[in-house]
Structure 1
Amino acid sequence: MPDSHRKYYEQTPDKAIEWATTIGIFTEKLVKKIFETTSEKQALRSVQVLKKALKKYSEIELEGACQTAVEVASSPTGQLVNTILARNKAQTGKVDNPLKQNKTEPDYGFTRGAGYYGGGLNDE
């Protein structure tokens, strides 16, 4: 049996909660809530989604997204947490990267205008 399949079969609710505890208090609350509201098999899949999210996001980002999911959802899922993570990344990305600004803002101008090329707007 491949290692990836073996890891899936070795996963238990107790191990999932133990893993969530290492990330943070809200991740632990979320995982417990997932196990309470869905079937064990689906809950284990959601935990796998959370673990996979750590490849792209930090533990702090995951913990914040889990906090939001615990507060807003009655039956949270791993996909909900992924959506929250993506939304948070998109919102912070706009602030952090000034090159992604909307180019139709009033302070945006052409680097070379008609005067540079020897013409003017009203040359009649």
Structure 2
Amino acid sequence: MRNEKFFTIQELHDAIFLKLEEFNAKPFQKREGSRLSAFLDEEKPFLKPLPASPYELAVWSTAVVQSDYLITDGKNKYSVPFDLIGEEVNIRLTSRTVEAFFNGSRVASFPREAVRHREPIVNVEHMPDNHKKYLMYNETAFLEWAESIGSSTLLTVKQFLAAGSVVEQGFKACASLTRLADRYGHARLERACSRALAYTPAPSIKIINTILRTGQDKVDQQSSPNETNPGSRYGFTRGASYFGGEKND
């Protein structure tokens, strides 16, 4: 090929491929067959398939899983199963993936993020049940829940959501309200919200909790003064002459 000219790399590759096929098919001088026949008969049956993905260099490290069940690649944080809190895991980092291994088994895998994120990258399956509830927190869900209980609860939730500069700041108070409903029941919560709104147009969780804890929601707010003093409805029964001191013979 030394006297041939090629104008592209592909032309050169094609020419080399033809020469290589010719070279491999050339018969041996001291034995039967060729390099191609020796490969097909003696070597090919023992070959294994190539890996599905190219080999990639990896950096390994170890870390003890903290209470937030997160590991880091130095730039971002990634979750591992929460039941590994306190355990030591092996972390494998490549240019594309973040993996965690425990006792030789892979327990977490994420595409490695190239840019820094403020929030951790979390797999929902890694979270305990009480943490999964936070994913359901949104304005629409809280409003629909409150409406199903009553108008006073709905108004209270609207006050919570409007209290901060963004609605997300009211999620904690709304979540606390749902826990009060689980503890005391929907009917009592509705009455407690109604009484709290009678005190202030912007009630707090502390006020509503106090009302429920002390049982103020069970007191009838419509009691009238006459009902607390039944005798006052009748007035005086003696005439003015009696009190004026006059006596009749």
TM-score over 0.5 for the alignment?
Answer: yes
- Alignment of structure 1 residues 82-101 onto 2, 5 Å: 82-88=209-215
Preserved contact between residue 49 and residue 79 of structure 1 (Cα < 8 Å)? no
Q: Which residue of 1 aligns with 2:199?
A: 72
TM-score by length of 1: 0.64
The alignment of Structure 1 onto Structure 2 pairs a total of residues equal to 92
Tell me if 1:31 matches 2:149: no
Q: Which has the higher helix share?
A: 1
- Alignment of structure 1 residues 1-124 onto 2, 5 Å: 1-38=127-164, 40-88=167-215
Q: Quick one: structure 1 residues 15 and 89, their matched pair in 2 at CA, closer, same or farther if it must change by over 3 Å?
A: same
TM-score by length of 2: 0.34
Match for 1:13: what amino acid? E
Match for 2:151: what amino acid? I
Aligned mates of 1:12, 1:25 — CA distance in 2: 19
Preserved contact between residue 17 and residue 31 of structure 1 (Cα < 8 Å)? yes
Aligned mates of 1:56, 1:89 — CA distance in 2: 16
Aligned mates of 2:218, 2:153 — CA distance in 1: 22
Match for 2:213: what amino acid? A
Q: Quick one: structure 1 residues 90 and 54, their matched pair in 2 at CA, closer, same or farther if it must change by over 3 Å?
A: closer
Runs of 4+ in 1 over 4 A off after TM superposition: 89-92
Root mean square deviation, CA, Å: 2.2
Identity of aligned residues (%): 30
Q: How far apart are 1:10 and its partner, in Å?
A: 2.1
List alignment gaps of at least 5 residues for structure 2: 1-126, 220-249
Aligned mates of 2:136, 2:194 — CA distance in 1: 27
